[in-house]
Amino acid sequence: MKNEKKEQTIIFKNKPIIIGHYSIVGPKEGKGNLREYFSEISEDDFFGQKTYEKAERVMIERALSGAVKNAGIDFSDVRLFLAGDLLNQIISSSYAARSFDIPYVGVFGACSTMAESLALGACLVDGGHFDTVACATSSHFSTAERQFRSPLELGNQRPPTSQWTVTGSGATILSSKGHGPRITCATFGKVTDFGIADVNNMGAAMAPAAMSTLIAHFRCTKTKPEDYDLIFSGDLGKLGSEILIDLMEKEGYKLGLNYKDCGQIIYKRNQNVLMGGSGCGCSASVLNSIILKRLISGEYKKVLFMATGALLSTLSCQQGDTVPGIAHAIVIEGEKNE
């Protein structure tokens, strides 16, 4: 069962199966385009807690619990929990993991975390190390805003290139047995930095990393954009997506109507989110709602899911550093595509 190794891309021999998923979002996301697809919409963005940070961890706990239930398994069947988030020292994930009696591996890829944890988790299931693993991530508008930018109470005006951090979490259960869409391939990204220093323009900072990973993926797998029903980027937003389309075109790849950005589809146009949604929870909640539901129903057969992350901190910005990006991608194929 030697896996086929093609540079950055792993083609899975055993094709880990997505046996469960769950998405939970806040009130604003619940009023967006994907309302009918989310597993749970909370009308309270505190999720019953006293602080937004504690709210974020509750979202992950509920996402994991929901995904386990959706998979029809017990918590004891989950052998490893891979999770990460945007907060310093990924406290949302680690404190959520405290609530479960499951070995835990913390990961960090900024907003690429959903794809990173799934790519790693798929390797661990494919390699036979763990029968069943859970992957999750989250973000919360109010925790991200005050950690990365300014206290919300200041009411700062948002620059036109800025995006709106999604309040949401998604969890996915991968297993070597069962029924569901399969992860057939994973491409691990390289850190890419084109010198963007504007912390309010994350889309532009992440687009070159997305290009790097997409090109590596297409070359390794000898596929083209049109070979996928849909190609989703995580949270490039409107500007970042346009940059990616331009960059790809210069490299000879035409991203057509089958290319979507999770950050652009999650909110409605009138929701005042400028360039669109962002945050780990953006791609996580979109994957674990409309994307997986449509893969399960057979509406999508083959999806390339690529989440992008901006690997900055407030301190690296303050010290004059530019913003490096990264993107990891997985291919998910519907059960009916076999």
Amino acid letter, residue 7 = E
Length of the chain: 338
178 binds a copy of itself (CB under 8 A): no
| Binder of a copy of itself out of 124, 166, 243, 287 (CB under 8 A) | 124
- Minimum distance of a copy of itself from residue 317's CB (angstroms): 10
Please list, in sequence order, all residues whose beta carbon lies within 8 angstroms of the beta carbon of residue 63, skipping any fewer than 6 positions away.
22, 23, 24, 136, 138, 169, 170, 171, 284, 288
Q: Which is nearer to a copy of itself, 23 or 137 (CB)?
A: 137
Q: How many CB atoms lie under 10 A from the CB of residue 272?
A: 10
| Binder of a copy of itself out of 89, 150, 272, 297 (CB under 8 A) | 89
- Burial of residue 217 (number of CB atoms within 10 Å: 0-12, 13-18, 19+): buried
10 binds a copy of itself (CB under 8 A): yes
145 binds a copy of itself (CB under 8 A): no
Please list, in sequence order, all residues whose beta carbon lies within 8 angstroms of the beta carbon of residue 32, skipping any fewer than 6 positions away.
266, 267, 268, 271
| CA dist., res. 12 & res. 330, Å (int) | 11
| Binder of a copy of itself out of 25, 123, 292, 332 (CB under 8 A) | 123
Cβ distance 38 to 285 under 8 Å? yes
| CA dist., res. 111 & res. 324, Å (int) | 12
Q: Which stretch binds a copy of itself (CB under 8 A): 47-55, 241-249, 250-258, 284-292?
A: 47-55
| Binder of a copy of itself out of 27, 35, 51, 246 (CB under 8 A) | 51
Q: Which stretch binds a copy of itself (CB under 8 A): 118-126, 255-263, 269-277, 286-294?
A: 118-126
- Minimum distance of a copy of itself from residue 122's CB (angstroms): 9
By C-alpha distance, which of 296, 279, 281, 287 is closest to 260?
287
Q: Which residues form the interface with a copy of itself (CB under 8 A)?
A: 1-3, 5, 7-8, 10, 51, 53-54, 79-80, 84, 86-91, 94-95, 97-98, 101-110, 116, 120, 123-124, 126-131, 147, 188-193, 311-316, 319, 321, 324, 326
